Amino acid sequence: MTEERASRLGLFDPARPLTAIMLAFCACYVDVICVLGLFHTFTAFVTGTLVVLCTEIFTLPEDAKLKLVVLATFFAATLGWYQLIVRLKAAGHLRLAPLLVLEAALLAVFLLVTVLAGPLEHPLALATIAAVMISTLAMSLQNVIMSELLNYHAPTTFMTGNTMRLIAGLVSGWLATEPASPGEVADARARAIQHAQVILAFVGGGLMAGFGMMQAGFYALLLPAGILLTMAAAQRPVSSGQG
C-alpha cells in the first residue's frame, strides 16, 4: 500500500491491517465470554469446539450436547452467510459496513438473551441454547467476512496458521542465511509484523474478555459490539467493491 493511497483510506478501511487486528480482538473476546459463561463453548473457533466435544463426550455428556448445537449452527449459518454474500456480490451490493452492523446486532441480541434469562445454570436450558446459537451466528458471519471480503489479511481465528506464518516471516525477513532481494525481505518482514499484530490482538481480546466477564458478566459484550459499530460507521462510501 503506497503512502498516497493510505492517506486516502479511512481508519478502518478494509485495506488497513487495523481492520483485521480489531476483528481478531473481537473474535477471541467473544470466545472467552462463551467459554466462561456458556459451559466452555467456542463459537468463533470450531477447532476448540471439537476438542472440548471429544473430551466431554466421556466426562460431561450433557455439556457435550451443547457443543453439537454449536457445530450444527456454525455449519448451517456459514452456509447461509455464504449464500448471502454470493447474492450481494452478484447484485453489486457487497459492502463491509452492513455486515459489521449485523454482527454487532447479533452480539447485542446475545447480550439481551443472557441478561433477561438471568443465570444460565444448565447447558441444555432454552436460554443457554439460544445464546449459544446467536453467538455462533455472529462469529460464523465474521469468519465468512474474513474469508470472502478480507481474505488478503491474516486470519482472525486461525492462530496456529498465523504463528507458522509469523515464524516463516521472521526467518525470511531477519534470520535467513541465503541472500534475498530487498523486496522479498521487505515483504517477509511486513507479513511477520501483520501476523504478529493479529496474534497480539487476539490475545489482548481474550485477556480483556476474561477481565470484563469477571467484572460485568455478559455486559462485557458491549465492548466488541461497540467496536464493530465504530468500524462500520468509519467505512467510507464506495462506488464498487467492498467497503
Residue-wise pLDDT for 65-110, tens only, equals 999 999 999 999 999 999 999 999 999 999 999 999 999 999 999 9
Within a 10 A sphere around the Cβ of 75, how many other Cβ atoms? 13
* Position 239 confidence tier, pLDDT thresholds 50, 70, 90: very low
**CA-to-CA distance for 41 and 204, rounded, in angstroms?**
19
- pLDDT category at 164 given cuts 50, 70, 90 is confident
**What domains, with CATH codes, occur in the chain?**
15-232 (1.20.1250)
Secondary structure (H, E, C), 115-145 = HHHCCCCCCCCHHHHHHHHHHHHHHHHHHHH
- pLDDT in the model for residue 176: 58
pLDDT band at 155 (very low <50, low <70, confident <90, very high): confident
> Are the beta carbons of 27 and 153 closer than 8 angstroms?
no
The 10s digit of each residue's pLDDT in 108-153 is: 999 999 999 988 989 999 999 999 999 999 999 999 999 999 988 8
pLDDT at residue 146, as a whole number? 92
- pLDDT tens, residue by residue, 29-42: 999 999 999 999 99
The number of residues making up the chain comes to 243
Q: Is 17 exposed, middle or buried (0-12, 13-18, 19+ CB in 10 A)?
A: middle
pLDDT at residue 14 above 60?
A: yes
User: In angstroms, rounded to a whole number, what is the distance separating the alpha carbons of residues 89 and 186?
Assistant: 33
Half-sphere exposure of 71 (CA within 13 A, CB side): 13
Spatial CB neighbours of 92, under 8 Å, sequence gap ≥ 6: 240
C-alpha cell at 144: 465468512
Confidence of residue 181 (pLDDT cuts 50, 70, 90): low
Q: What is the rounded distance in angstroms from the CA atom of residue 146 to the CA atom of residue 211?
A: 27
Q: What is the pLDDT of residues 199-220, one digit of tens each?
A: 999 999 999 999 999 999 999 9
- pLDDT > 70? residue 179: no
Q: Per the confidence metrics, is the pTM higher than 0.85?
A: yes
Using 50, 70 and 90 to split pLDDT, how confident is the model at 15? Answer: confident
Write out the H or E segment, with its range, that includes residue 164: helix 159-170
pLDDT of 157: 74
Neighbours of 192 (CB within 10 A): 20
What percentage of the chain has pLDDT greater than the value 70? Answer: 87
Longest dimension (CA), the chain: 62
Dist. CA 56–CA 59, nearest whole Å? 5
Q: How many CB atoms within 10 Å of residue 102?
A: 18
Q: 205 Cβ partners below 8 Å, 6+ apart?
A: 24, 25, 26, 27, 28, 29, 32, 224
H-helix segments, 92-121 = 96-117
Q: Is pLDDT above 60 for 2?
A: no
State residue 175's pLDDT score. 62
Q: Is the pLDDT of residue 238 over 80?
A: no
Reading the block at residue 138, the C-alpha cell is 455472529
pLDDT at residue 125 in the model: 95
Residue 17 pLDDT greater than 50, yes or no? yes
pLDDT score, position 7:
46
